[in-house]
Amino acid sequence: MTSRKPPGRQEPTLKPRRIVQIASFFIAVSFADASFLPPARAEASRAPGSEGENSDTPVSFTYGFKGGASFAQHAGIEERNSEYTVKSRWRTGFAAGAFLYVPVTSRFGIQQEIMYVQKGSRQEIGVDILDIPTVLDVRYDMDYIEIPVFMKFALVQRENFAIHSIAGTALSLMVRDHYSLAGVIDDGSQSVPLSADADMSEVDMFDYSFVYGFDAETGVWNLRASLEYRFVIGWNTLSMPTYAYVPFGDESILIDNDPVPLKNQAHYIVIGIGF
């Protein structure tokens, strides 16, 4: 336990490692964009099912926009006999962006997107501080630019209606983060408040996820309208902070707890319009 003033929220400096990470991210996105540019092909009707259920003739590519709600939380990976307990609640946010669909056959294609997504969670963390059981109310707010690439397959395809399965992966770059904590150490005779309010620059800015779900698509005038459910779960572990400060005169005492290993996960419900 050390004594120091609580740090203010400062603008992060780009260390060489972060510069390499950001450069790698945009190089990967550039290669992904180039990989899925559609080849030259004859124009065809863009209405779902217009090529016939058993046709393998490619249809024209589609681009558009989508937006909706995200319901995010963190999944713990520790065993039950760990040094702390975690109860996770949802963070409700939004997800919005643009997409490009490149057909391979009339039933199957590749879709690439770029989305702004709000993730994070609300946590109740039970931990021993100074050998006193304490419950910490923690809020993690994490906003990402997410680049999903996934396969779409038409499970049901009619003249003006289709249901697709989707499955793939996503690379995400954290662009906004905030950590806050509130709690009380109570030994039965005295109560001491705990608090924290800072960024999460120590957390890995990259997240890698699996994506799967379903969408229903229909033709509306000359557009394609879709309703989609998607589940996104991270495969890498993030070390989330749990430190706190205790007021002590004009300064504060740092309670430096070990980070909690958690993974991002989120449910999206979005509406899309394609052209």
What average pLDDT values come out for the chain (275 residues) when binned by 10 residues? Answer: 43 49 54 46 43 50 97 80 77 98 95 98 86 91 98 95 98 97 90 93 95 96 95 95 87 85 95 97
pLDDT of residue 60: 77
Cβ–Cβ < 8 Å for 171, 147? yes
State how far the Cα of 18 lies from the Cα of 36, in Å rounded to an integer: 27
The residue range of the domain holding 245 is 60-274
> What residues contact residue 251 under an 8 Å CB cut-off, 6+ apart?
3, 4, 5
pLDDT of residue 65: 98
pTM reported for the whole predicted model: 0.78
Domain count, the chain: 1
Among left, alpha and beta (phi > 0; psi -120 to 50; other), residue 32 is alpha
Sequence letter at residue 135:
V
pLDDT of residue 75: 87
192 found inside a domain: yes
42 found inside a domain: no
pLDDT of residue 24: 59
pLDDT of residue 112: 97
Nearest to 166 by CA among 144, 189, 143, 149: 149
35 found inside a domain: no
32 found inside a domain: no
256 found inside a domain: yes
Place of tokens 């620059």: 201
98 found inside a domain: yes
212 found inside a domain: yes
Nearest to 132 by CA among 240, 241, 246: 246
E-strand spans in 19-131? Answer: 62-76, 84-89, 91-103, 108-129
53 found inside a domain: no
**CATH number of the domain within which 118 lies:** 2.40.160
The radius of gyration of the chain from alpha carbons, rounded to an integer in Å, stands at: 23
